[in-house]
Amino acid sequence: MVHVDSSLRPHNAVTGIGGDAFALYFEPKAKRVHCIMGNGRSPAALTLDWVHAQGVTGHELPPFHAMTATVPGAAALWDDAVSQWGRLRLEQVGCGCAVLGG
């Protein structure tokens, strides 16, 4: 848990719950480094068919448009890291996302 906590805290302070986060976790027994990418994904409802129905043609979304917004990935990263390597539940580690998420 200490390793997960120390790799998440710096990103937590920079991005907060509304941003993205990336973490490296060293697993001592296996001598292996794991990477978790908590970068934003597009919303589930943003399908290619929906984009075309909005009149977008070609291979790029219009810049500075709501279609280019992503869902923040930091909270998902915290949950993934705690689930995979933590000994405590998410609401016990103090990241705040469990409190905000209900």
The residue extents of the domains of the chain are: 2-52+70-96
Decide if pLDDT at 14 tops 80. Answer: no
Question: Would you call 101 helix, strand, or coil by DSSP?
Answer: helix
| Greatest C-alpha distance within the chain | 53
- What is the C-alpha separation between 74 and 86, in angstroms, rounded? 16
- Would you tell me how many other CB atoms lie within 10 Å of the CB of residue 6? 11
- At 95 the pLDDT is 55
- Please tell me which residue, 69 or 101, carries the higher pLDDT value: 69
Tell me the torsion sign for CA atoms 63, 72, 23, 12: positive
The number of CA neighbours under 13 Å toward the Cβ of 34 is 16
- At 49 the pLDDT is 92
- At 41 the pLDDT is 81
Question: What's the whole-number average pLDDT of the chain?
Answer: 77
- pTM score, two decimals? 0.58
- What is the C-alpha separation between 100 and 96, in angstroms, rounded? 6
Burial degree of 7 (CB within 10 A; 0-12, 13-18, 19+) = buried
Q: What is the mean pLDDT of residues 14-20?
A: 69
- At 11 the pLDDT is 46
Give the tens place of pLDDT for each residue, 69-100: 888 888 888 888 888 888 888 777 765 555 55
